[in-house]
Amino acid sequence: MSDKIKMARQFIQALPHSVALGMHLDELDNGTAVISMPYSEKLIGDPKTGVVHGGAVSALMDTSCGAAVMSHPSNPAGTATLDLRIEYLRAATPGQKITTRATCYHVTRSVAFVRAAASDDDIENPVAIATGTFTVEGHK
């Protein structure tokens, strides 16, 4: 693991809001980030069904997309979200962990383009899809 990735890892694992949501960084390399968030009662958005709130999925998507940018080989010094669109394909199954895989597929001098998918145990059928653009902060 390169020093750059090690530092990005430490930074991402210390984000207070991500820590509060119980997120775990599973993979980080070469413009791809995999982050998971265990099911928890505090994340419930629909008290009748126990389904996780869309906002919690958004937070997970935003974190993984930002992490993917940080790990891109172009080495951005930092990043912030410009725009993030999420499509909710289906309700996540209550009780199951949600995992997102984000890929930063293009970087210019000023903008990084990212897409991500979130799934529960049924990995063939994503619960949500995201596309986002992120800022690229001064190279080193």
Residues interacting with another protein, by CB under 8 A?
Answer: 14-21, 41-48, 52-56, 58-63, 66, 78, 80-88, 91
Q: How far is the CB of 96 from another protein (least distance, A)?
A: 16
Q: How far is the CB of 3 from another protein (least distance, A)?
A: 18
3-state secondary structure of 114: strand
> Contact 35/67 with Cβ under 8 angstroms?
yes
Judged on CB neighbours under 10 Å (0-12, 13-18, 19+), 129 is middle
Work out how close the CB of 125 gets to another protein at its nearest, in angstroms, rounded to a whole number.
17
For 65: left if phi > 0, alpha if psi spans -120 to 50, otherwise beta; the answer is alpha
CA angle 57–66–27, rounded 5-degree value: 80
Q: How far from 60 is each of 15, 72, 100, 129, CA to CA, in Å? A: 12, 19, 7, 12
Closest approach of another protein to the CB of residue 15, in Å = 5
